[in-house]
Amino acid sequence: MSQDSRNARAAQPAAGDAGTVRVTLTVNGADHELLIDSRVTLLDALRDELALTGTKKGCDQGACGACTVLVDGRRVLSCLTLAAQCDRRQVATIEGLSSDGRLHPLQEAFLRHDGFQCGYCTPGQIMSAVALLHEGRTGSDDEIREFMSGNICRCGAYPNIVAAIREVARQGAR
Amino acid sequence: MTLTRPVVVGAGVDRVDGPLKVAGAAAYSSDITLPGMVHVALVRSTIAAGRITRLDTGAAEQLPGVLAVLSHHNAPRLAAGPTNNLGPTPPPPLQDDRIRHHGQYLAAVVAEKPYQAAAAARAVTVEYERTEPVLRIEDPAGELRTDPFGMDATRGDAAGALAAAEVVHEATYVTAENTNNPLGLFATVAQWSGGRLTVHDATQWTSNTCQTLAQMFEVPESAVRVYAKYVGGAFGSGLRVWPHVVLAVLAARTVGRPVKLVLSRPEMFTGIGHRPNTVQQLRIGAARDGGFVAIEHEALQTVAMDDENLEPVAASSASAYACPNVATRDRQRRLNIPCPGSMRAPGEAQANFALESAIDELSYLLDMDPLDLRLRNYAQVQPQFGLPWSSKALRECYQVGAERFGWSRRDRRIGAMRDGRWLVGYGMAGVSYLWWQVHCEARATIGSDGTGYVRSAATDIGTGTYTVMRQLSAELLGLELDQVRFDLGDSNLPWSPQAGGSGLTGALGNAVHAACRELIRTFLRTVVNDSASPLRGCTIDDVAVSGGRIHHRADGKLGESFVAILARHGLDELTADGVSDPPDPQEVGMAPAGAFAAKFVEVHVDPDLGLLRVPRIVSVVDGGRILNEKLARSQIIGATVGGVGQAILEETVTDPRTGRIANANLGDYLVAVNADIGEIDVTFVGEPDQLTPLGTKGVGEVGLPGTAAAVANAVYHATGKRIRSLPITIDDLLG
């Protein structure tokens, strides 16, 4: 037997034996009771269980930021967060950002400054930016760049993303 | 009518798909869910060459939720896909026991839940008979393909001129393998229903995906419908119908239910192409006054087993500069690697680094300013054909770029400029992008409510096609933006070429132009004998359109609305088709020009730590007519960011022993993040191109090449270190 087949066998998973858990997620203000596999990530719970597909999966390894959501107001990578960790916590996603059909100022600023192209990283960028404003990390362009660097934009819209965040931060300061 | 020179350019039109995208409401293929949908996970080879001796799916089949496991044991034989203008379809999956590369698909597991499919995929055991893989570009064991594109160019006698040249620069340049890595995981949702196939895919080319799947699964094209309404980036990786797409369709047919297959990020490194690495020899001969007498460019790149990849590298050097003696030669080494494919500016991204680095090196041998050297050898006519360019404002790119950048402040001495402890370097490069144009079709309708509906099977991968085509349609039909819908991303719509080669805006724009013009003609034909119409007897040259009306060109009051014409003739709508085809250069007596650009870059290098920063890049682009300056600027910014990645970050690392990609994730494969990018200044210059009514040239790729060379040239200016391999890393600068 070759080395490769031994590795493949050793990697056999123990599927289905971890049990299910009951989790109450409060997403954008609404409670959702879920009975899910204990290993389900917050990202998969949002997308597959709650059909909230605005939150994107770009790597599933915590490296790209596309899945950024807020949990109790702090930005987290939902692909590296188990849904079970979020029981009875406040989860905010892109779908909850606009109210009464009116876009959030950051959404408007991203639109105006063309802070995206394909749009796939955009929900994560915007959720990160929402947190950034609260974190007070918008003092300079360099600071915005640094603290937005967990969110990859492969289309390369970074200068426009910085411009959008800068504008909203300044409006807020007035 | 005045449709031949539409003035639709809007600096401030926001992306029309933007509101959906910022709300997370744009549905990419990975977001599609169908009733009863099940999921596919893939088993990939862990060796790079050899054959499968045993593949056991028994344990996997027993796991919860598993519906089927496909492998070469039970997969049906599939017909080969078509060959198109980019080459053949990649080899279909699961057809035999042969291993061509590490990461090749060996089995596909279908299960109720994605995690059940993933778990079962890991339970498939494979044994191999391993043979020695051919993995290195220099390895003579790999087949060497000469002139694989039939584009090797010669003019004059390059070898003879080099031997006699007063000054000769000769060097070898190396570029790393890069991986497209669009952020959107490629996903295919496939559903068979009564012999008809519906697919939602991450593709840049719905028409081709439709045609390919029809051919491979031996059903009529009319039975296949491919959607790609939103694509999460692609940068060339969505130009081909990759094996995972075929597997999703096969899985759906096997289990009789809709399936979804989402590639993992590691699978995105082996399954959807990559920019091949190159080794390039450049020889440039010049007279003492700087005039080029000869350019020889030989480029070797990699290609996969049983595959072809259209990636002319050296070929582009034939038309970049005025030079009497030129020889370019492209070669490919066939290796046990995943299929290379197009990645933003395929070929040119690598070639430009070599050529523009070599010219910079030559400028030091000649003791000339590198900008002056380029101007000294400016190609006023297309040097290979001897024809005038259909448009060329590269000189203006250089001049405007130099001004905006402050090139005159450059101290020519090496290492003379500093910012505190950082060494400062200024570098520049020129870009002459190849022209690419293909057949395209579009259809335009005006309905009884006076609104327009224009469509084509094209895709918008973030480039802005939805937006600029709606703008263009509105302009051509005399309607407001919100009175026109532009639809795309559906193979049932009129045939469109790929969103690639910087060619779609031109091809589609001209097809939309033709369709809208034909639609106006159709309205005029409708009223040709209509005594009630003020437009009776008018031809298209007599009229103009505005405010939802057709009216006499000379008298805006003399005309009537689309609504009135339709109502009086009892019509619900009128529809017309349009096509565009690339003109024959000989016939029009012009050499078709792609976009041109000049890049000016400032780098900062920490001499003790080898840190390299790129705080400032100035790009000046001749893209012909720019339909939406805001979105075109974003294309240049984004491509420049991609160029920074190529220059200083990106390298797909393959284990030379096993053929496994060692950094197949976004933590280890570095792409530019926000903090890597400083000020990016973009300016457009030039005039509408003369070749087509629309006058666009396409700006999706021209922003990338030139970046890496300008960075390398700036690094030399800062440090005296000439780095001839990409990416430029800390160890290069400390060495």
Q: Which domains does chain B have, with CATH numbers?
A: 33-132+183-233+238-269 (3.90.1170.50), 278-436+588-734 (3.30.365.10), 438-581 (3.30.365.10)
Would you state the pLDDT for residue B11?
55
Backbone angles phi, psi at B14, to 5 degrees: -75, 160
Would you state the pLDDT for residue A100?
83
Would you state the pLDDT for residue A1?
36
- Given the DSSP bridges, would you call strands B167-175 and B725-726 parallel, antiparallel or unpaired? parallel
Contact between chains at B24 and A54 (C-beta distance less than 8 A): yes
Using CA atoms, how far apart are residues B614 and B612, in angstroms rounded to an integer? 7
pLDDT at residue B705 above 60?
A: yes
pLDDT at residue A4 above 70?
A: no
Is the omega angle on the peptide bond into residue B727 within 30 degrees of 0, that is, cis? yes
For residues B473 and B454, the answer to whether their CB atoms sit within 8 Å is yes
Give the pLDDT confidence of B625-642 residue by residue, as tens digits.
999 999 999 999 999 999
Give the pLDDT confidence of B547-573 residue by residue, as tens digits.
999 999 999 999 999 999 999 999 999
Would you state the pLDDT for residue B279?
98
Using CA atoms, how far apart are residues A105 and A172, in angstroms rounded to an integer? 10
B687 is catalytic: no
The string of DSSP letters for B523-554 reads HHHHTTT-TT-TTTT--GGGEEEETTEEEESS
What is the percent of chain B with per-residue pLDDT over 70, rounded to a whole number? 98
Would you state the pLDDT for residue B4?
42
Residue A164 falls inside a structural domain: yes
Assess whether A124 and A92 both reside in one domain: no
The string of DSSP letters for B35-99 reads TT-EEEEEEE-SSSSEEEEEEE-HHHHTSTTEEEEEETTTPPP-PPPPEETTEEPPPPSSSSSEE
For residues B75 and B144, the answer to whether their CB atoms sit within 8 Å is no
Question: How much of chain B is helix, strand and coil, in % rounded to 5?
Answer: 25, 25, 45
Would you state the pLDDT for residue A3?
40
pLDDT at residue B616 above 60?
A: yes
Residue A13 falls inside a structural domain: no
Assess whether A81 and A139 both reside in one domain: no
Look at the block and give the residue holding tokens 């060497």: B144
pLDDT at residue B372 above 90?
A: yes
pLDDT at residue B7 above 80?
A: no
Average pLDDT of the residues of chain B: 96
What is the percent of chain B with per-residue pLDDT over 90, rounded to a whole number? 96
CA distances in angstroms from B321 to B143, B385, B432, B618, listed in the order given: 32, 12, 9, 22
Report the CATH number at residue A139: 1.10.150.120
Quote the DSSP letter at residue B649: T
Look at the block and give the residue holding tokens 């003791």: B367
Give the pLDDT confidence of B92-132 residue by residue, as tens digits.
999 999 999 999 999 999 999 999 999 999 999 999 999 99
What is the percent of chain A with per-residue pLDDT over 90, rounded to a whole number? 82
- Considering only CB atoms, which chain B residues are within 8 Å of A155? 183, 233, 462, 634, 638
pLDDT at residue B6 above 80?
A: no
How sure is the predictor about A18, in pLDDT bands with cuts at 50, 70 and 90?
low
Selection from A11, A9, A14 nearest residue B125 by Cα: A9
Average pLDDT of A112-134?
A: 97
Q: Which of A71, A96, A121 represents a domain boundary (last residue)?
A: A96
Q: Which of A77, A96, A115 represents a domain boundary (last residue)?
A: A96
Assess whether A46 and A90 both reside in one domain: yes
Chain B residue closest in CA terms to A146 = B675
Chain B residue closest in CA terms to A161 = B674
Chain A interface, best mutation among B21, B43, B231, B467, by max A CB count within 10 A: B21
Average pLDDT of B670-675?
A: 98
pLDDT at residue A5 above 90?
A: no
Residue with the larger pLDDT of the pair B2 and B486: B486
Q: How many domains does chain A have?
A: 2
Using CA atoms, how far apart are residues B711 and B218, in angstroms rounded to an integer? 50
Residue with the larger pLDDT of the pair B634 and B12: B634
Give the pLDDT confidence of B310-326 residue by residue, as tens digits.
999 999 999 999 999 99
Would you state the pLDDT for residue B10?
56
Give the pLDDT confidence of B499-518 residue by residue, as tens digits.
999 999 999 999 999 999 99
pLDDT at residue B12 above 80?
A: no
Which tokens is B232 given? Answer: 């999460």
Using CA atoms, how far apart are residues B165 and B143, in angstroms rounded to an integer? 35
Segments of A72-111 assigned E as strands: 74-77, 90-92
Residue type, B594: G
Residue with the larger pLDDT of the pair A12 and A70: A70
* Interface pTM, i.e. ipTM: 0.97
Residue with the larger pLDDT of the pair B27 and A100: B27
Chain B interface, best mutation among A99, A155, A166, by max B CB count within 10 A: A155
Q: Which of A70, A96, A122 represents a domain boundary (last residue)?
A: A96
> CB atoms < 10 A from the CB of B118, how many?
18
Of B24, B116, B232, the CB nearest to A95: B24
In B103-184, where does DSSP find H-type helix?
A: 114-122, 158-164
* Residue numbers of the domain that contains A43: 20-96
How sure is the predictor about B2, in pLDDT bands with cuts at 50, 70 and 90?
very low
Contact between chains at B184 and A54 (C-beta distance less than 8 A): no
Residue A11 falls inside a structural domain: no
